[in-house]
Copies of this chain bind each other. A is one copy, B any other.
Amino acid sequence: MDISVIGLGKAGLPLAAIIADSGFNVTGIDLDSKKCELINSGENPIPEEPGLESLIKKYGGKSLRAFTDYCSASNCKAYIIIVPLFINEFREPDFRTLKGAVKSVGKMLKKGDLVVVETTVPPLTTEELVLRWLEEESGMHLGEFYLAHSPERIMSGNCISRLREFPKVIGGVDKKSGIVAFEMYRKFIPNLHLVSSARVAEFVKNIEGCYRDVNIALANELYKIAEELGIEFYESREHANHEYCHLLLPSTGVGGHCIPVYPWFLIKEMERKGKDEFADLLRKSREINDKMIEYWANKIVIACLKIDKPLNKITICIKGITYRKGVKELFHSRNMALAKLLADKGFRISIYDEMFTREEIEKLGLAWGDPDLADLTFDPFDLKIKLNAQKNV
């Protein structure tokens, strides 16, 4: 059986490679023709993903082939959709990319085909929107084809091991779809769990993200309280944590495509139902995390009091601009937001990030700077503010 994977990004390509490694012919679809060429010549377009290179080398252009046009996948029996879903400026999900992919699949859907959505979506998206789009485009009804949801649970830098070891859930929009999807997926996902519905599978992924966002907000809040009271937060946390307590680490906030996005899926869903107060904690946590840059900006300014120079002459270097250490990704990066916040206020801010060249930093509209030459540096990953003399403040 040939399987198509729609979307060969950081989540889709590792999945496609794992499927090829299980003996299937995989037809990958991606808009990026350069990426398709690389894959087809056995070259890995995501070098930072351990274990991916050998798989692409082995299967790329052979049992794993990549195309920009959907019709190359018309002979497949299963379509896995793993394209990005963003939120717009009103925090509402922007379904355009997903809708386009689903409709393209719908056009070539044949009797008995299976469609699995891996993109993380708000609850009920698969059984309501995706099903409607597929039925509209294919002219068939559910039962003639099968539809399920299995949220990707990867993490940049651990994709291959996550797919091979981490528990993964799958649920159908009806019972038969769930069984058909489970039977196929278990051939390449060893730790697979069939849940009672697509909406449960969707919700599993949503609430996992909410857990992290709320618990990061809690860590940030407790860190602020500890600082205010002159108490060592990290030492306290280490001793508070045990089998029933799992306090996370404080930060400059939460960035990336996942954790700061999923709470909005549920918040907006509750707003639509007139139950705004059912998502109070999620909304408050988002607010706390997003406002952490103001807290850190204030700390940095206070630290400037120890420097015997006019404030407008003090050079401040932010040592990190990505949303997470070691991942070259700026989406909703709170570290970039912090740099911009301080620069907008008029501070002399420069950026140093080992993942970016000076030119790349400058292209973002920011000043590059050597941390050794700055009067003050802030490392957003270990939350340390240092003065020139390497003195901790």
Contacts and interface: CB of A to CB of B under 8 A. Distances in A.
Contacts of A196: 232, 235
A167 interface: yes
Contacts of A275: 224, 228
Interface string A220-256: 0110111011111001110110101111000000000
Copies of this chain in the oligomer = 2
A245 B278 contact: no
A9 B235 CA distance: 30
Interface residues of A, number: 57
Given A203-B226, A225-B270, A211 B247 contact: yes
A239 B200 contact: yes
A77 interface: no
Interface stretch (A31-39, A129-137, A280-288): A280-288
A217 B193 CA distance: 27
B211 A246 contact: yes
A284 B285 CA distance: 10
A203 B231 contact: yes
Contacts of A273: 228
Nearest to A237: B207
Interface string A198-224: 011001110110111011011001101
Contacts of A228: 270, 273, 275, 278
A251 to B, nearest CB: 15
16 contacts: A166-B242, A169-B239, A193-B239, A200-B231, A200-B235, A203-B226, A203-B229, A210-B222, A211-B218, A212-B245, A217-B281, A218-B281, A228-B275, A280-B284, A280-B288, A284-B284
Nearest to A214: B218
Contacts of A282: 221
Interface string A332-347: 0000000000000000
Interface of A: 123-124, 166-167, 169, 193, 195-197, 199-200, 203-205, 207-208, 210-212, 214-215, 217-218, 221-222, 224-226, 228-232, 235-237, 239-240, 242, 244-247, 266, 269-270, 273, 275, 278-282, 284-285, 287-288
Contact of A203 (B208, B236, B279, B288): B236
Nearest to A166: B242
Given A197-B232, A208-B240, A211-B245, 4 more contacts: A200-B239, A212-B244, A225-B270, A281-B285
Nearest to A282: B221
B240 A278 contact: no
A236 B284 CA distance: 23
A63 to B, nearest CB: 31
Contacts of A166: 242
A133 to B, nearest CB: 20
A240 B221 contact: no
Contacts of A208: 240, 245
Contacts of A205: 240
A235 B284 contact: no
A246 to B, nearest CB: 5
Contacts of A231: 123, 197, 199-200, 203
A269 B290 CA distance: 24
A281 B287 CA distance: 10
